Amino acid sequence: MAEKGFGTRAIHEGNIRDTQFGALTMPIYQTSTFVFDDCAQGAARFAGKEDGFIYTRLGNPTIKMVQDKVAALEGGEACQAAASGMGAISSCIWSIAGAGKKIVADKTLYGCTFALLSAGVTQYGVEVEFIDCSNMDEVKAALTDNTCCVYLETPANPNMKITDIAKIAEIAHGYNKDIKVVCDNTFASPYCQQPLSLGADVVVHSATKYLNGHGDVIAGFVVGDAEFIQRVAMFGVKDMTGSVMGPFEAFLILRGLKTMEVRMMRHCENGMKIAQYLEKQPKVTKVNYPGLESFPGHEVAAKQMTRGFGGMISFEVATKAEGEKLCNSLKLCTLAVSLGDAETLIEHPASMTHSTYSPEELAEAGIPEGMIRLSCGLENADDIIADLDQAFAQI
């Protein structure tokens, strides 16, 4: 039988049938620990000789179900949940890198990921080189014998830069098959793009965003092959970060995933309409949206974002002051960081999400002072455009 559609899989894959009471939705197993029948059973579970739960930092039924669902949607063998996107990213990085190893990372990343790589792991003997991953000559030049990881976002936060995942994987694995190509798929979501199918080894997510979709959870995931995810679970999360997702968060994400396809269809539709409006708005000097033919990454995006171009846009106005005036004049769009929610959210990356970058690093990463980031919500596009229009009239 042909593979079922994304919406069907988001609702049905990974489900655990409640045989005790027949609940339709997965209950919230709000428990820290699990009872053993006897010492032999406890020992067998710790030794990995018997399946079953031990302690929620090591596993929990509600969390297991959401992990299995996200693994299926990303096309990965396994998935590990975390307490936040940063928990997932740091657990992943500690499972790959160590003293003496090198990470090659794109220079345009979410601000806290940039801080983790530039100021965090470097304190522990990990070398990090920041490059432009969309330039394959830079990628080739950065790979060395101690390189263990190539780390990137596509589309990148906040300038939407597109990187060719298949090309990166080919170059990195051609140099050394053990290099882990890690892609943060938060902006695209598995609905639009599945990096593992393009050759990436690992996908990380801030599930705070599209996967949950309702702005009421902080959570993250790492997806990859079973052996690597076992290491992330038993070393990255269990020993290094302790970044454990709570059962209630898992329940909320399971609820959010049921509507992921319809939400993403609307996010993509709104993203395209609003990007087209911004392209014609005289006060906007540049629009970054992968769906626009004028956008430099469009061709690669069209190849790897197979169902749509998502709901994230960034655009530039002449000055920071104009950007602030615009944000302060909006009535429907909400001034807040985060993204992927039902509400349209707007923010100023240089002073907010990317304030971990110095002014020189912002310039190097392609994040100008006049850049505004917009997460197109699920409202009616005409209403979002009318609100933007009245705010542009103020500047």
Ligand X SMILES: Cc1ncc(COP(=O)(O)O)c(C=O)c1O
Task: Please give the residue ranges that form the binding site for ligand X (CB under 6 A).
Answer: 84-86, 110, 112-113, 153, 157, 184, 186-187, 206, 208, 218, 220
Rounded to the nearest whole angstrom, what is the least distance from the CB of residue 82 to ligand X in the complex? 8
- What secondary structure letter does DSSP report for 352? T
Nearer to ligand X, 153 or 164 (CB): 153
Task: Please tell me which residue in 110, 210, 277, 357 is annotated as part of the active site.
Answer: 110
Q: How far is residue 311's CA from residue 155's CA, in Å, rounded to a whole number? A: 11
Rounded to the nearest whole angstrom, what is the least distance from the CB of residue 89 to ligand X in the complex? 6
Sign for the CA dihedral angle at 326, 331, 336, 338 comes to negative
Roughly how many angstroms between the first and final C-alpha of the chain, as a whole number? 57
Sign for the CA dihedral angle at 78, 80, 84, 88 comes to negative
Task: Please tell me which residue in 55, 57, 101, 255 is annotated as part of the active site.
Answer: 57
Rounded to the nearest whole angstrom, what is the least distance from the CB of residue 222 to ligand X in the complex? 12
Nearer to ligand X, 45 or 180 (CB): 180
Rounded to the nearest whole angstrom, what is the least distance from the CB of residue 153 to ligand X in the complex? 5
Task: Please tell me which residue in 209, 263, 266, 373 is annotated as part of the active site.
Answer: 209
Enumerate long-range contacts of 361-364, CB under 8 Å, 24 or more apart: 361/107, 361/114, 361/118, 364/107
The answer to whether the CB of 279 falls within 8 A of the CB of 238 is: no
Reply yes or no on whether 57 is catalytic: yes
Task: Please tell me which residue in 106, 132, 164, 184 is annotated as part of the active site.
Answer: 184
Nearer to ligand X, 9 or 373 (CB): 373
Bridge partners for 373 per DSSP: 314, 347
Rounded to the nearest whole angstrom, what is the least distance from the CB of residue 268 to ligand X in the complex? 18
Sorted by sequence, the CB contacts under 8 Å of residue 266 that are 6+ apart come out as: 378
CA dihedral 195, 198, 201, 207 (to 10 degrees): 10
Reply yes or no on whether 231 is catalytic: no
* Nearest residue to the partner ligand X, using Cβ: 85
Q: How far is residue 174's CA from residue 156's CA, in Å, rounded to a whole number? A: 24
Nearer to ligand X, 249 or 387 (CB): 249
Nearer to ligand X, 191 or 277 (CB): 191
Q: How far is residue 357's CA from residue 389's CA, in Å, rounded to a whole number? A: 31
Reply yes or no on whether 307 is catalytic: no
Reply yes or no on whether 161 is catalytic: no
Catalytic residues: 57, 110, 184, 209
